[in-house]
Structure 1
Amino acid sequence: MNGEGEIVRAGFERKYLVPESAAAALLSAVGALLPPDPYGGRYVVASLYLDTPDLASYRREIQGKWRLRRYSTTETVFAEFKAKPEPGKVHKRRSALSLEQLPESLPAWFQKAIHKQSLSPTRLVTYTRDAFVGELGGEEVRLTLDHQVQASTQQSLQFPLFDGSRGVGFPLTEGRILEIKYEHALPEELEKLTRELGLLPESFSKYRTAIEKA
């Protein structure tokens, strides 16, 4: 973490689309392998995505996604930049700020990107997340399973009022979205579990789908 407070994360990520019929079995098996994350294991995530007037991020004409993220009804908001420098590899940079600081007091590096690339809010994506984190096979692993994924058009750098127990907007997908983040190699236990459930890695972007559907 440097003087501006950003956090840099690097690692690998796999995504899977999980039928609702397989969700209970997946949650049960994952719960036996990993503990819930330190924030309680289940909460609503609200992500406010920014893009250029001609949607250059959506069109992949500029690298990565810019967003503000809030967890349930907490007063902390994270300004984030997420990019994939190569297939399967993820780089994330973020800074924390308080909800009351929006929209005036964004982190300097995030504000610089807004001005340089003419970024503005486009879509608000919300979903309920089950999150697990721990060590498997010597790898630090974070596993999330998202459902009730919804999106709405958003043009303000403010989060709308919601009670933190459900999402806001139009449904984006049936079933659930599984994301597994790891440092070097996917642990054998998770490789076996996804194979037994008939899950295959897929490319799915909440933001891109929100642009296309909401």
Structure 2
Amino acid sequence: MAGEPAFRYLVTPNVDHLVQLSKRPELIPVYAAADWRMCDSRILERLAKFRGLELRCYPGADLVRDLLDDPRSQTLKIAVVGPDQANFDALCQKFPGHDLIRVEAPFMKPGDAAWEATLAGTEAAQADLTLLCISFPKQEIFAHELKSRGRARGTALCVGASIDFLTGQQTRAPDIFRRTGMEWLYRLISQPGRLWKRYLVDGPKIFLLFLKDGKQ
């Protein structure tokens, strides 16, 4: 609608995202269209230093926590896309002064009926801030479609499991793991069946990509 703020979105690249982008180039335009790209990996931060680049890591879970802890966020209408009702209720109890709206996001694939319904529900919310918590790369594709359709407003953050950490549904690694760039190891130990392929098979490919990029 004329005069309303344009919709913008932020993505939070980590090692897994970059490895997947190297295998799925059709996702690159989704990342390229983002208004902001914020590093979510200590490993990427350190690899950048080898190139003489300053790439400061600011994990998505920390970003969402800091935003919601800021009293100014109580003036915003905030849509949360992805969590189930129990997890959303826990979030509301943790932040009782916030204007939070849950947008149901059932298991869905881009283009199916559930996907279209979730897009419409997010657009109808007309939120100032939208937290997309539906996993990579669905949340990034979802944000890109919202921007392309031109019906949503405000800012969307692609922040994965950040709400789960806030509500205690998932436990974050102790500070020592986070400061030393070993949060991936803690998560692997905590959920080996789900994460072994990501961290033991796909993750190490980032070093090959790093070396390949250095030869170009």
Q: TM-score, normalised by structure 2?
A: 0.25
Q: TM-score, normalised by structure 1?
A: 0.26
- Of structures 1 and 2, the one with the larger relative CO (CA 8 A, separation 6+) is 1
Flag the structure with higher strand content.
1
Flag the structure with higher helix content.
2
